[in-house]
Amino acid sequence: MASTIKDIARVAGVSTATVSRVLNHLGGYNEDTEKKVMAVAKALGYRKNENARSLVQKSSKTIGVIMPEVTTAFYGDIIKGIEDVAYEYGYSVILTHAGSQGSRIQESMNLMGERRVDGLIIVSVELHEPAMESLLSLDVPYILISTKTKREDAPYIKVDDERAAYTAVKYLIDHHHRTIGMAGANPEDPIAGAPRINGYIQALLDHGIKVDLNLIKAGDFSFESGKQAMQAFLEDQAKITAVFCASDEAALGIISACFERQISVPEDLTVVGYDNSKVSSMSIPPLTTVAQPLYEMGKAGCSKLMDAIIHHTSIESQVIAHELVVRQSVKKLS
């Protein structure tokens, strides 16, 4: 059904080579034949077959994106950034998620290999050693967004979580809070967990506040884990005046739990989130939070990747600036 350049060549009375040249604007033909070929192509409803082109050019003009779960708005922003620049370069993005706990990651990589993607972006998924092997065996440029690995040379782009957490906690201290809880971080997560906890601890230490490990409630960044943390604080009868959360969702969990018990935020308890996801501006009260420029991270990551693909250069890691977005969930103590 679909017509090919052979059909065009036959009808237009030229060779396939000429058709190809015309279609790709390569020059080496005169205007008459150009018009003729173009006309025939249109008449036949020709559409090029990218797979055939990929085969001979050994480049699929496609990049792969692997992420943990597509479900949160968090990743939506990053993807949008990626897709926007890929589109500009005429590249397509093929998307896969790595399953919960990265269970599908090996298969994902394999799939990307079979599709012959020209580059790979890995978002937020933790790469264990075998996965890293697979990744390298693909032998294409790649970049990690919002992740790192043990390998020093693996290019990444992310914010400095420890410093960001430090900033947030210092902000609380500057507002005269002295008993500050932490909620929602998973200490075993070397990417988004431990560094934020360390930043929290360091900020306290640097300001002469002694660290009480009971005030650190571990979690998995979820809304639920925030709620549970608040419950734990209450059961402990902890005298906290503020709590720093490892995610906005956890912060909303804290607020939600407070709401159920008629604890007013920020009157009775100050809350700071992390991510500056869309919800943070919509919550009651609007949430003061640490911003990760997600869209920009996607954009920057993809730009770097494109550069590496096109110019065969290597990619340099980048730590991008975080920012504290001040809204109304923090009270200044006297």
Give the nearest distance from C-beta 8 to a copy of itself in angstroms. 15
Q: Residue 139, interface with a copy of itself (CB under 8 A)?
A: yes
Choosing among DNA, a copy of itself, none, which partner's interface includes residue 16 (Cβ < 5 to 8 Å by kind)?
A: DNA
Which residue in the set 26, 39, 55, 333 belongs to the binding site for a copy of itself (CB under 8 A)? 55
Which residue in the set 23, 209, 211, 320 belongs to the binding site for DNA (CB under 7 A)? 23
**Neighbouring residues of 12: CB distance < 8 A, sequence distance ≥ 6:** 19, 33, 36, 37, 40
Choosing among DNA, a copy of itself, none, which partner's interface includes residue 13 (Cβ < 5 to 8 Å by kind)?
A: DNA
CA atoms within 13 A on the CB side of 27: 0
Q: Residue 77, interface with a copy of itself (CB under 8 A)?
A: yes
CB atoms within 10 A of CB 248: 28
Q: Residue 150, interface with a copy of itself (CB under 8 A)?
A: no
Stretch that binds DNA, among 10-18, 103-111, 121-129, 131-139 (CB under 7 A): 10-18
Contact 193, 247 (CB under 8 A): no
Size of the site for a copy of itself (CB under 8 A): 56
Binding letters toward DNA, positions 267-306, x by CB under 7 A: ----------------------------------------
> Based on the number of CB atoms within 10 Å of its own CB, is 8 exposed (0-12), middle (13-18) or buried (19 or more)?
buried
- Helices H / strands E in the chain, number of each: 13, 12
Among 297, 307, 321, CA closest to 78: 297
3-state SS, one letter per residue, for 280-325: HHHCCCCCEEEECCHHHHHHHHHHHHHHHHHHCCCCCCEEECCEEE
Q: Residue 153, interface with DNA (CB under 7 A)?
A: no
Contact 14, 33 (CB under 8 A): yes
b/e 250-269 (16+ beta carbons within 10 angstroms → b): bbbbbbbbbeeeeeebbeeb
Choosing among DNA, a copy of itself, none, which partner's interface includes residue 147 (Cβ < 5 to 8 Å by kind)?
A: none
Nearer to a copy of itself, 242 or 265 (CB): 265
Choosing among a copy of itself, DNA, none, which partner's interface includes residue 46 (Cβ < 5 to 8 Å by kind)?
A: DNA
Residues that bind a copy of itself (CB under 8 A): 1-2, 45, 47-52, 54-55, 60, 62, 69-73, 75-77, 79-80, 83, 87, 92-97, 104, 110-111, 113-116, 137, 139, 223, 249, 252-253, 255-256, 259, 278-279, 281-286, 295
